[in-house]
Amino acid sequence: MPASIFLGTASPSLRKHRRKSEKLINVSEITHMTEDLYSEKLAWFKQNERPEVVLVVAENPELIKIIVAWTSLQITRAEKLTKLSSEAESEMWEWLWQNTKYRLGELKEKIGIPFSEVALENKLEPLIGNRVIYPDGTVNSFVQRYLREQVLKIFETKPKKSVKKG
């Protein structure tokens, strides 16, 4: 039987009604609630995206390569999440990243540009700080649309008409 924690009132006047109103929560559910906090905070940032962050990556091939590689990187949450100290937007964003694990070396390999790890970290800072990339391996939806449009432009380029000799 899983360990449970009682969350309810211990008031003497309500003890006889306790059976009807008591709520048992498994310890595993509390862990799940913490994980849900991570998902909840991440979802908030995704719902409040800013389109102007596209300007951070527009016409910057190095940042674009990092973003493309980011989406195929193995990224995980920390096994035990740290405590969220504040509901301030910047604190929540920092907390999400503190609880995210990825290998910089793997990212470096996927990019295919010979960056030092310090140089790669410097390139990641504006992508993280401007919320272009997310700690779950996804990308700001406006940036994603921009990149798709760039790919479509490549495929839509029509070949020149051949000159007929006659």
The pLDDT-based confidence of 76 (bands split at 50, 70, 90) is very high
Task: For 115-137, write each residue's pLDDT tens digit.
Answer: 899 999 999 999 999 999 999 99
Listed in order, strand segments (DSSP E) in 54-116 are: 76-77, 100-101
Residue 31 has pLDDT above 70, yes or no: no
The pLDDT-based confidence of 154 (bands split at 50, 70, 90) is confident
What's the pTM value of the predicted model, to 2 decimals? 0.73
Interatomic CA distance for residues 160 and 151, integer angstroms? 19
Residues 6+ apart with CB under 8 A from 57: 63, 64, 67, 127, 132, 143, 146, 147
Interatomic CA distance for residues 122 and 30, integer angstroms? 37
Residue 28 has pLDDT above 80, yes or no: no
Cβ(23)–Cβ(4) under 8 Å?
no
Residue spans per domain, the chain: 50-156
